[in-house]
Structure 1
Amino acid sequence: MTDATDLKILIADDEPLAAERLQMMLAKIGGVHLVGTAHDGESAVRMAEALSPDLVLLDIAMPGLDGIEVARALSRQETSPAVVFVTAFDQFAVAAFDVAAIDYLMKPVDADRLGRAIERARAYVEGRGQEQAIAERPAAGSPWLEEFWASDLSGLVRIAARDIDRVTAERDYMRLHVGKRSWLIHHSMTALEEGLDPELFVRLHRSAIVRRDFIAGFSRNASGRWIARLGDGEEQPVGRLYADQVRAIAGR
């Protein structure tokens, strides 16, 4: 019998021995429930849609859709599962995190390392529930979002909205930048724009929201497009649809 709070896991790996080894390691980890095993990319997508796993342990080199393509397909689901890549190839790490993978494990997988990845995925799934609850219930007395919860290696991290320097979009995820650190959360840019206090934040691009007092100045590039200079030295192009925001900030 499984507990309702168990982390539901789907394995997607075309190597039977590799999949069996993962199954054996999962059997020794508490609080998890294996819902199925897929042996190619298309099956992984279909099974994820049917079984709604919390986490997919996903190989990269598979027949049909490869693991990166599977992760992209999963990200389009209404509630997409967390993804941990399990592969023999290290050259796909950058591509893996471009599709917001929670972790990247190299074969042969170490049991302790798998355990840490599972806990990281659990923190992510629990944190996503926290984020959704926060989005639905702003702080008492305030119509605006005042905090977020994001997953970290240590568990869940509370991030005060007023501490966020900027927000950038990464497909179906948003990255909250605070100083030199950043965290991914599962939100839409539109929901964040509507939820963040417009006295504190301004949208400058379809994929970027910036805290107003983090903007150090504006300049124009050779084509006449506005560029925001930020407090950390980075530059943020201003989308043409948001040029009026520059004039409003500058009082013009």
Structure 2
Amino acid sequence: MDQRSKLNIAVCDDDIFVTEQLSEWIKEYFVSNHLEEPNIYEFDNGENLIKSEVKYDFVFLDIVIPGMNGINIGRRLLAQNEECLIYIITAYDSYLDAAMSLRVFRYISKPLDKSRIYRNIQDGLKIYTTSNTKILIETKNENIILRAPEIIYLEAQGHTLFVNTSEGKYISVRKMDYWEKTLNTRGFFRTHRSFIVNMEHVVRFDHSLVYLDTGVTAYLTKHNYQNFKHAFMMYLEGART
């Protein structure tokens, strides 16, 4: 998410009542909290949403709409902007697993509830703020400044610590304990003495491995399994609200 004074928010549902209601509640939330009103864009189909040239920060997306379904639309949107926060709106719980694999930010059940929408907007704004937090990576030759979401995972190999990011791989002069303290409130988890992962990139995990969307697998110790599972569920907390 780039530094803009206004958020860009899309609402996509083929039910005009839902679209208008969501847009009204979103506007009311920002006004009542004395925040600058976002740019709100309304769509009744996914094709027009995908074709629009706006870089969206939040997208409220019905999962069942004419033409392309919400999951496929979400995939296209994330391909265009991986930092977009997608809220899936639906009355069908059967789509929850697919929504989770898409890394949907929130899964909101119909009928819609104003207080739930407010809570989910608030959660999204917290992520938006965190995602713009700068992290300093110190190497022997240079200092690199990135946003926390650009860090995918960290791996210690012997005495060398690699910070793997969307911009490349860097060798940090800092130790694993430093990074654990720096990142543990920003959606990261130390799964093993040699790995810290960004939970945004986790697609699945078992009792010994964590699989990232980059194709990398990180070790997960047995005694850390329950803690990681709890942390990951907390990360996804609110998915059914």
TM-score when normalising by structure 1: 0.59
* 8 Å Cα contact 1:168-1:207 kept in structure 2: no
Tell me the secondary structure at the aligned position of residue 91 of structure 1: helix
The aligned counterpart of 1:86 is 89
> Identity over aligned residues, as a percent?
19
Pair 1:9 & 2:9 matched: yes
- Deviation of 1:160 (Å): 6.9
What is the rounded CA distance, in whole Å, between the counterparts of 1:58 and 1:158 in structure 2? 25
Greater gyration radius: 1
Q: Which amino acid aligns with 2:174?
A: S
1:44 counterpart = 2:49: yes
**Paired residue type of 1:40:** N
Runs of 4+ in 1 over 6 A off after TM superposition: 136-140, 167-170
SS at match of 1:57: strand
Is the CA contact 1:7–1:54 (under 8 Å) kept in the aligned structure 2? yes
Residue 133, structure 1, aligned to residue 147, structure 2: yes
Match of 2:179 in 1: 146
Change (3 A) 1:128 1:24: same
Contact 1:35 1:51 in 2 (8 A): no
Q: Output the CA distance in 2 between the equivalents of 1:43 and 1:208.
A: 37
Q: What root-mean-square deviation, in Å, do the aligned CA atoms of Structure 1 and Structure 2 show?
A: 4.0
Q: Return 5+ residue gaps in structure 1 as ranges.
A: 151-156, 181-186, 190-205, 215-229, 235-252
Inter-partner Cα distance in structure 2 for 1:87 and 1:159: 26
Report the equivalent of 1:164.
Answer: 191
Aligned residue number for residue 64 of structure 2: 61
Give 1:110's aligned amino acid: D
Post-superposition offset of 1:5: 4.2
What per-residue deviation string (whole Å, max 9, x for no partner) do you get for residues 66-122 of structure 1?
101111111212444110011222221221111111111122211110011112222
Instruction: List runs of 5+ in structure 2 lacking aligned partners.
Output: 136-145, 152-164, 227-241
Q: TM-score, normalised by structure 2?
A: 0.61
When residues 129 and 18 of structure 1 are mapped into structure 2, their CA distance, relative to the original with a 3 A threshold, is same
Whether the aligned pair in 2 keeps the contact of 1:167 and 1:210 (CA below 8 Å) is no
- Pair 160,95 (structure 1): closer, same or farther in 2 beyond 3 Å: closer
Aligned partners of 1:55 and 1:159: how far apart in 2? 18
| Distance in 2 of aligned mates of 1:4 and 1:233 | 39
- How far does residue 125 in structure 1 lie from its aligned partner after superposition? 2.5
Pairwise CA distance, 1:63 = 1.0
Shift of 1:207: 3.1
